[in-house]
Every structure is written in C-alpha cells, then in structure tokens.
Amino acid sequence: MKQNKETKQTINTDTGEEQDAPVKGKHFSVNIHFILLAAIVLVIGFSAFRLYQWNKGEKIEYDPNQQTTEFDVEVLDFIMPLAPDKLEGHKDDGVTTILCLGDDPFSLDQGENGLAEQIAQKTGATVYNGSFTGTTMAPASATFKEGDIMDAFSFLYVATSLAHSDFQLMKTAAAYSNDENFPVTTEMLSNLDMNTVDIICIMYDASDYINKRPCDDPNEPFNPVTYTGALRTGVAAIQEAYPHIRIVLMSHTFCHMVNEEGNFENGDRVDLGNGTISHYLQKERDAATDCGISFIDNFYGSVNEDNYLDYMTDYIHFNDAGRELLARRFAECIFPAEEE
C-alpha cells in the first residue's frame, strides 16, 4: 500500500478499517562525549591565554643606574612627652634649658659646629654641655676604684651626682684627669641649678660596645655595670630628684670596631662578647620605654651603614655634617613646631 510522507496507514482493530497515524517529529541525539571534549578545549584554551599574559608581564620603569640613599628599614623613634602631673609645683622660668650628657659626640667639638651648640641654634634653647670624652654609659666596676677614675664620669656616676647634688667624687677624679675639660665641666655641673633645666639630652656613641661593657642582665635590669642597667639606674635617680625634667635618649649610630690587626670591621656584624651594636640599640630602646623617656634612633634614622662616609671622620667620630644631622634629628623630634 502506498504510504504518505506525512502519515502512515494503520488498521483499526475494532473496525478493521485503515486510518492515518501522525508521524512523530524528527530529533537529533545529543553526544555527551562531544560536550565534554568542548569543555576541555575551552579550559585548556583559557589557561593557555592566562599563562601567556602572565609570561608577558607588564612594563616597569626601572633605571638600574639610579642612585638613592633610601633604605627599607623602620626607624625606632619613641617620643614620649612629659606627663603634666610631673610639672606640678614646678615654677617655669620661661626659658627652655637643655643639659647635654654624654661622651665624644658632644665633647670633641664645643665650638659653633659642636653638637650641643647646633642644638641650641636649631631650638633657640639655652644649652649646657656636660659631656666627658672617652667615657661610657656603664662603669667598669660596681664599686669605684682609684685606678678607674674614668668611671666617675660615666653616665651612671654623673647622673647620680646630679640627683644627689654631690660632686665630690667627680671633682676628686677630675683633679687626676689628663683632660683639662674634665674639671671645668664638673664645676659647671656642680653649679648648675637643676630646677631651671627642662630637658636632659643623653647621647653616648658605641663606646660601651667597643669597651665590651655587658649590654644587659636579664636577671637584674638595674645592674649598674651593664649598659642598660646603668642607663636605668641613672635615669631613675634623675626622675626621682627632678620629676619636672623631660629626658631624651639619643642612640648611638652605625660604627666600626678596630680589630687586633688595626683594620675596621662592621660593628653590626661583629659580636665582641655582648652582642652587636644593633643588639645594644634594641636593648637601649627597651630600657628607654621601661623608663618612660623619649628615644631617638640614630642607628637607622641618622648615620647608618649606607651613608656613614658622609658623616664620620673615622670608625666612630663625626664630622661637622654628622653633628649637624644629629642636631637636626633632635630638633625635629622634640621641637617639631620650630622645624615647620
């Protein structure tokens, strides 16, 4: 029997007659393998494109010949204002007076290019220089011995002499000193009215490190023959006697040490038995925060391993530019309004 394109003949079982039945619509079967293959191709293609972009990178403007004095370190300044209650009962004379205590940074040049004089110029303050060349923060021994007259001019003894207004030991030791400035400076300190002093600025170079003074005593923070113990003891004595005085500690800078052959060695890489100079720096800062005094970091913030040739005359001492830089740092940290 002839069959139509759109229908096909069927026989009705009930009547026996032929009838048309609709032909089902056409459809295509979906191949799952084809879909998976297409997805894999897309993933591989996208990954290849991203890898190409990553390898290509971006153009960066970089000049290999560029010179810079900047270095990626965090300056460890800790600036602490004096608590208002410390001024209760103190009469302000209207003149800002600063007393500088320390060793060579202050003492080697006391002319117009000296560190104390430049601090005076930059702050407008009256500045007294109470420093002693070749001294240290900590004394050589816990009890004073006649053979160690320099101990009498260490920070520990100077601070306690100021706190107790007793300069007999310093005057006796100064009489035996070969430095003509020692008796003069001692006399100035003994005559200075500490009630007129507003700020004490303390700075010692790395002489404690070079002279192998112990840096600290973990079991006794106030051990007087350690670098930080002498600092804590001296500061505490001044704070108790003159609570109105704001104390500012300026850290040592980068320096070298001189080995047995007479050659310079980086002080931040050589441990002389008590740590490198950066170890002394961190312990010094810890002591300053414990005492609640301001700390100016000169090791990272002033004269460092990258620029010391511009500011030092030898392995440890400063030239005029170095002292100017230190004075500027002090003024910027403690008298910021005057620097604007």
pLDDT (tens digit per residue) in 98-132 = 999 999 999 999 999 999 999 999 999 999 999 99
Task: Please tell me the predicted confidence (pLDDT) of residue 24.
Answer: 47
Structure-block tokens of residue 244: 């109105």
The answer on pLDDT for 334 being more than 70 is yes
Average pLDDT over every residue of 242-265? 96
C-alpha pair distances (Å), 267 with each of 74, 76, 281, 328: 19, 19, 12, 24
Predicted pLDDT of residue 36: 77
Condensed to tens digits (0 to 9), the pLDDT of residues 123-167 reads 999 999 999 999 999 999 988 876 689 999 999 999 999 999 999
- Return d(Cα 155, Cα 229) in angstroms, integer: 11
Give the pLDDT of residue 287: 98
Contact 301, 75 (CB under 8 A): yes
| pLDDT at position 37 | 78
3-state secondary structure the chain: CCCCCCEEEEECCCCCCEEEEECCCCCCCCCHHHHHHHHHHHHHHHHHHHHHHHHHCCCCCCCCCCCCCCCCCCCCCECCCCCHHHHCCCCCCCCCEEEEEECHHHHCCCCCCCHHHHHHHHHCCEEEECCCCCCCCCCCCCCCCHHHHHHHHCHHHHHHHHHHCCCHHHHHHHHCCCCCHHHHHHHHHHHCCHHHCCEEEEECCCHHHHCCCCCCCCCCCCCCCCHHHHHHHHHHHHHHHCCCCEEEEECCCCCEEECCCCCEEECCCCCCCCCCHHHHHHHHHHHHHHHCCEEECHHHHCCCCCCHHHHECCCCCECHHHHHHHHHHHHHHHCHHHHC
Predicted confidence band of residue 30 (pLDDT cuts 50, 70, 90): low
For residues 3-25, b (16+ Cβ closer than 10 Å) or e, as one string? eeeeeeeeeeeeeeeeeeeeeee
**Under 8 Å between Cβ of 3 and 9:** yes
Percent of the chain past pLDDT 90, that is, above it, reads 74
Q: What is the pLDDT of residue 63?
A: 56
Q: Is 259 exposed, middle or buried (0-12, 13-18, 19+ CB in 10 A)?
A: exposed
What pLDDT does 148 receive? 85
What single-letter amino acid sits at 224? Answer: P
Q: Residue 46 — pLDDT band, cuts 50, 70, 90? A: confident
* pLDDT score at 339: 47
Give 246's pLDDT tier (boundaries 50, 70, 90).
very high
End-to-end CA distance of the chain: 111
Tokens representing 167 are 């300069």
Residue 38 is predicted with a pLDDT of: 76
The residue that leads in pLDDT, 39 or 316, is 316
Residue-wise pLDDT for 207-224, tens only, equals 999 999 999 999 999 999
CATH superfamily of 84-339: SGNH hydrolase (3.40.50.1110)
**pLDDT band at residue 69 using 50, 70 and 90 as cut-offs:** very low
What's the rounded mean pLDDT across residues 323-338? 93
Of the ranges 88-92, 162-166, 199-203, which one carries the lowest mean pLDDT score? 88-92
Average pLDDT, the chain: 87
- pLDDT value of residue 65: 56
For residue 25, pLDDT beyond 90 = no
Q: Spell out the domain ranges in the chain.
A: 84-339
Residue 53: both structure tokens together? 């972009």
Q: Please give the share of the chain, as a percent, with pLDDT higher than 70.
A: 82
pLDDT for the residue 10 = 47
Q: How confident is the model at residue 7 (pLDDT cuts 50, 70, 90)?
A: very low
Q: Exposed e or buried b for every residue in 280-303, given b needs 16+ CB within 10 A? A: bbebbbbbbeebebbbbbbbbbbb
